[in-house]
Structure 1
Amino acid sequence: MYLRTFYSLMSVLALCLVAVRAPAHGLWDGDDDRGWGEHARPEGKHASVRLYDARGTVVGDVVYVSGIGYDGGVVLNVKGVFVFAGISRVGNVGPGGATSASEMRWQYPQLAYSGENCSGTPYIYYERGAFRPSAIERKGTTATLYIAQDTVSQTTPIGSFGAVIGDPICIRGAPVFVSKAWPVESTLDLTQLYPEPLRIAP
């Protein structure tokens, strides 16, 4: 009796395996044009997309972490510290503005300041992704990456925030108390290391 039950279960398991594997063959091996087989793969689908600077130097693979106000970014290794540096399209994203279809610039996350008019002590108040918190300050055509200290965040009164709509602007903070703010450990001139405009390509 037990042997009969065992053979019955084995037969059912074998049928299930056949049913699962049969459509997978057609889907991935190119037998079915409705799948993503070798001959049916959509044109332009790449394993990775890279960011290049104005000199044609590869900056890194384009990635996306949670947040708004940017179009992706790259993970940089700065002296053994991994940080996220975001990018956005060149142009003005405000009402009636126009943006480039292909040119990018360093932009995100923005920096916070203890005083008004983007003055005083700078703080980093973004912790997107699993990387060391970082922020970008834009002054004219210069983009500087700020990297947080390897420490616990603190509650800090913020008097203003940087923002980029077309040209860099400063937004008054009132002030507000930010519970996740980090002091700055180091900075890096992004536009000197990787000059703009930036472009995305395979």
Structure 2
Amino acid sequence: MSEKNPLEALLAACHWIGEKGWCPATGGNMSVREDSHFCLITESGKDKGQLTAENFLQVEIATNRVPSGRKPSAETGLHTLVYGLDPHVGAILHTHSVNSTVLSRVERSNGLVLQGYEMQKSLAGQSSHLEQVIIPIFDNSQDIPALAAEIAKWAQTHPLHYGFLIRGHGLTCWGKDVAEARRHLEGLEFLFECELQLRLLEAK
């Protein structure tokens, strides 16, 4: 990761997300990789706009074990899955914005296709609006281990870039560090809003 203090960068991102209204109430969860074995993730039930460094818990990536014994966010298993699948992921942001939540229900397929938008170039590796960006969508489940297993199975045959949507739930996205994850989140939120507005206009 490129940041000198990744946790400080993540805290700033969480406060920014809170100001955007993308994690209402105590929804959402954020994490940053410490090393190949551990990550730091938000404690359960905390307002993401009011977090402090003490609200992040160390979690073992391979086992989801929390050395402190405190309760991490409910979707911890999804964060550790992504870290385990891709060693280049340095930070993960899971939000509950209106755009991502509604669009994940409007789109009935298992993948949202984004194409034709200049803002696609906010995503790492994208160089043209003519390319397709596919954001997979998984059905919502309160069984996080089962959902993690479904995502892991999907990733065996499909590239897992940028993030995924959980239907009626929200967006989980990531980057090589907090700055890139934050850029991907902002870019995807813009794209989601454009796509919703386009579908509304086309439906008239």
| TM-score, scaled to structure 1 | 0.27
Q: Which protein is bigger by CA-based radius of gyration? A: 1
More helix by share: 2
| TM-score, scaled to structure 2 | 0.27
More strand by share: 1
